Structure formats: structure tokens, C-alpha cells
Amino acid sequence: MTADRTGVVHVHSNYSHDGRDSLEQLRDFALDRGIAFIALTDHAEDFSESTWQEYVQRCGALSDSAVRLIPGLEFRFAGYRGLHLLAFGLDRWIEPRTPDEFIALAGSASRCTAVAHPILADYALPPSVRNGIDAIEVWNATYNTRYLPDPRALRLLHDIRLVRPRVVGLAGLDQHDRRNDRQTRVVLRDQAIDPVESLREGRFVNVGRTMRFDSGNGMGGIRLALLSAVRWAFDRVERAQDSVARALRSRRGAD
């Protein structure tokens, strides 16, 4: 991978209640791994407008030609279970209360918007999101594991692209602790002045431990069918392992 074009998206700092890493530690993480930019997505509910301003200033102060920390937020909404929307490269504070408001506000305040881990929302998106979002996270390294992307998220992307062909598919880390690097990356196809613009325009390739694919229709029908079969088998093995682990914990508790 080309270091000056390699980035990670959907990363949390300790500005999020469940993030462990300071912005300084995330900069070091990037330098250690040859990462040129980090698209941050800290939890919006953990911010006020003043905290946001401080956060943006610190991201700017820690950014240079080696590493860029790009401020962004992850929003969730009452009544929409599992629906989390990402705004990369926000240039001002916004407080959307609904998905419709997010699309209306983030469309002008950020340079790229995305649906995070659609598996948590059971792949059901409000019409405003389907009609206004820039990207779908088709590989969330936390919920889909570091080994394989999500076939159903890829199908969701394909369905949306039939109507809106400029929507792109992202591989995101959803990282909360730099010590657990799940190794999904986005590699830009150009020497971007603005990496977030390159993401929105689809000028990148998703790269993980087991495969790489482009931002649009990166998987044909045969490859997607094979991925679905492998994903099904992988998930069954994981569930079996989880069941065994729970049984062993229960047995130790009984002893």
C-alpha cells in the first residue's frame, strides 16, 4: 500500500465515552503504521458546541504533511434503532435530531456522509437517507470482523446505486482502541489535497486482511455469491465458538 495515500475511516478518540486513545496517540498510531489520514467519527452525543470547537482546533494542530486528523462525528437518533450516520470532515457544529435533519444539515456541513454498520439497523434505511447519503459502510471491521465484508451491505449498496450510481462503499475500522487494529484501510487512487473529497467521489480502493475491492461495483455476482457462502460458514463457526465459550464460563461458575 502507498503510505501517502492510505487512510482509515470511522475511528474514535477519547472524546467519545467509549474511546481509549487521545488524538496524540492516534497520530502516533498513524505514523507507526504508515497511515496518512484518519477520518474521525466521535460520538456526537458526547460533544457540546464548545467541545467541538476545541476538538477541531486540536485536530488541526496535530495535522501536518505526514498525518491528517480529519474531524467528524457519528450521530444516532431516538426511534431509529441501530441507525448511525457518519459525517466526515465537518466544518461546523450541527445538532440533527432526526435522519432527515442529518441529511439536510450534514450535506452542506460535511464533505462526505455515510451509513455506519448497516447490520445494526437490519439494513433498513429511511427514504431520506437512501436518497441523500454519500456512502455505505460495507465492511465494518468490528461488527463484520476483520476478515470479511458484509454481503448484505454490499447488496444494499448495489440496490442504492441502481438509482444513485455515485454512492460508494467504504471499509471502516470502527476503532475505539489503537491496540486492536483490525487492519481495514482505504487507499486513495490519487494524491489528494482533500482525502474526504476523494472518498466521496469514489477515488479509492478498500483493502483488508483477506481481500481488496473498489468503491463501487467492486464485486460481480459470482464473487458476491461466493462471499455470501463463506460469510455464512464463517458466522456459523463463530456462533459455535461463542456457544462453547459461554458453556465453559457457565460451568466454571457452577464449579
Tell me the pLDDT tens digit for each residue of 31-72: 999 999 999 999 999 999 999 999 999 999 999 999 999 999
Kindly list the domain boundaries of the chain, sorted by start residue. Answer: 3-219, 220-255
Q: Which residues pair with 37 in a beta bridge?
A: 7, 68
Distance separating alpha carbons of residues 146 and 69, to the nearest angstrom: 23
Q: Tell me which CATH homologous superfamily contains domain 3-219.
A: Metal-dependent hydrolases (3.20.20.140)
Confidence grade of residue 247 (pLDDT, cut at 50, 70, 90): low
Confidence grade of residue 244 (pLDDT, cut at 50, 70, 90): very low
- 142-170 pLDDT tens trace: 998 888 899 999 999 999 999 999 999 99
pTM above 0.75, yes or no: yes
